[in-house]
Amino acid sequence: MIIPVFIFVEVFKASTFLSMPRVKLFDENEVLTKAMNLFWKQGYSATSVQDLVTHLGINRASLYDTFGDKEQLFKKSFELYRKTNLEGLIQFFDSHPNVEKGFSELFDIAIHQAILDKDLKGCFVVNMATELIPKDKKLLEVIESNKRDFENLFFEYLKKGKDNGQLKTQQDLMSLASFLFLLYNGLKVISKINPKKEELKRSIDLALTLVF
């Protein structure tokens, strides 16, 4: 039996098309950032897969193929938030050689962001800690690691101020770092309830007198 040439060509084209890798028509980092902001705003439980599909602008097949299920997508977006904030804090401290002014500005920025945030999202890490812990043990480990990372950055920054004579306190620097981390997260929580600039500013200024 002789197969007509045009049939062979069409079969070849079809098999070639089927064997080609699927090309993603979206930016994964951009989509992950959108997912992060949606989880941050609505919380994990209140965000459905359909919410994600609608908000991200991709179909379910692409979502599952690229990011996995809802839980996997959440954990990837949560890690993006953590990584972005840690890198941002490192850059911020590096660009602020005066430790006292650095911490003061850090809290001023946090207050300013809280005032501008119409959704009153607060801190993604704190939000997820209150929603999912202690049910999610793996997330607890991530949040504990996040706490250590931030406290260590605070500690190194305080130590830098101590070494160059800017910080005169005789208090334990690690305890101060933990206090500042607690204060920073407390600000994020309170700002969701009562985002009043002057009131928040007075409270932070008073707390910082215990350090500087």
- CATH code of the domain containing 125: 1.10.357.10
Is the residue at 8 inside a domain?
Answer: no
CATH code of the domain covering residue 37: 1.10.10.60
Q: Given pLDDT bands bounded at 50, 70 and 90, which one contains residue 203?
A: very high
Residue 114 vs residue 21, higher pLDDT: 114
CA distances from 26 to 30, 57, 156, 200, 203 (A): 8, 9, 39, 41, 45
Domain boundary among 41, 76, 111: 76
pLDDT at residue 186 in the model:
93
Residue 194 confidence (pLDDT):
76
pLDDT of 141: 92
Q: Which residues touch 128 (CB under 8 Å, ≥6 apart)?
A: 43, 44, 78, 139, 143
Q: How far apart are alpha carbons 14 and 177 in whole angstroms? A: 63
Q: Please tell me whether residues 66 and 103 are part of one structural domain.
A: no
pLDDT at 195: 82
Q: How many alpha carbons lie under 13 Å from residue 103 in its C-beta half-sphere? A: 27
Out of 31, 46, 76, a domain closes at 76
Q: Residue 15 corresponds to which tokens in the numbers above?
A: 């098999």
- Residue 162: pLDDT band with limits 50, 70, 90: very high
Place of tokens 């500005």: 105
Residue 107 shares a structural domain with residue 202: yes
The pTM of this model reads 0.83
Do 106 and 63 lie in one domain? The reply is no
Domain of 44?
Answer: 22-76
Mean pLDDT computed over 116-127 = 92
Overall number of domains in the chain: 2
